[in-house]
Amino acid sequence: MLQRQRGFVVNISSVPARFGGGIGSIAYSSAKAALSAMTKGLAREFGPKGIRVNAVSPGAIDTNYHKKFSTREALDAVVASTPLQRLGTGADIADVVVFLCSEGARFIQGQIIEVNGGFLMV
């Protein structure tokens, strides 16, 4: 990327980076918060070299992880707290990643894009 003076980095953060996560997820939430901060630092450092650095911060995504580690009640509570009234999908996240790597995002740098159906609003 440095040789070409062009490239894209899209980190994957998470909603718990903003609110600390649930009980037992301190390490995960802290790591994601650090990744969000690192995204901004990398964007400052490598933007002048033509490299765009951003992150996507998913909310609850309907994956095997949640099928294994979450209860139906917990997921139902998340859905009830989400204005779009559903869990996200892998495609919801992938579409944003593809956009961030496109020319349509040519002036987006150092951003953490929240993809959570409105679960957390700034």
Q: pLDDT tens for residues 66-93?
A: 888 888 999 999 999 999 999 999 999 9
Active-site option among 8, 28, 37, 79: 28
- Can you give the pLDDT at residue 65? 85
* Contact present, 43 and 53 (Cβ < 8 Å): yes
Angle, vertex CA 10, rays to CA 48 and CA 2, nearest 5 = 35
Q: Is the pTM of this model over 0.85?
A: yes
Greater pLDDT, 49 or 21: 49
Fold of 7-115: Rossmann fold (3.40.50)
The span from the CA of 6 to the CA of 83, in Å, is 37
- 28 labelled catalytic: yes
Annotated domain spans of the chain: 7-115
Q: Does position 122 have pLDDT exceeding 70, yes or no?
A: no
Identify residue 73 by its one-letter amino acid code.
Answer: E
